[in-house]
Amino acid sequence: MYSKPLLTTGLDSIEQAAAMVYTAELFAEVEDQLAKVAALKHVGKSGMGSNVVHCVAKFRRPGRLYHVLHDVTSERIECECHRWKQSDIPCNHKGVDTSTL
């Protein structure tokens, strides 16, 4: 309960922040999603105004694209898979680093 979680994904700062927010049980699910980020590839983006839509594909499944909306003004990020709305756990599609794209 009071122990620090073992960081395993290589995304230490994100894992540490998640560990402070989620219970140990939910953190395990968040960590699973973070591990899947490494298998994602940013394949394109389009935008209008403050909204940018990023297209993300899974490794070895380039035909299945996920669209992630990023409102730059409000910093809101939404994915078309709606996993967050279903389980309160962010999906791995939102984890792709688009800050340098």
Instruction: For the chain, state the CA radius of gyration.
Output: 14
Q: For position 18, what pLDDT does the model report?
A: 81
**Token digits of residue 18:** 């998640």
| Spans of the chain below 70 pLDDT | 1-10, 62, 83-90, 93-101
Return d(Cα 51, Cα 9) in angstroms, integer.
Answer: 29
How many domains, in total, are found in the chain? 1
In a domain, 17, yes or no: no
Domain of residue 72, residue span = 41-85
In a domain, 7, yes or no: no
In a domain, 3, yes or no: no
In a domain, 79, yes or no: yes
Q: For position 100, what pLDDT does the model report?
A: 43
Strand extents, DSSP E, 1-101: 40-48, 51-58, 61-71, 76-79
In a domain, 101, yes or no: no
Q: Find, among 46, 1, 49, the residue nearest to 27 by Cα.
A: 1
Angle at 91 between CA 90 and CA 97, to 5 degrees: 95
pTM (2 decimals)? Answer: 0.61
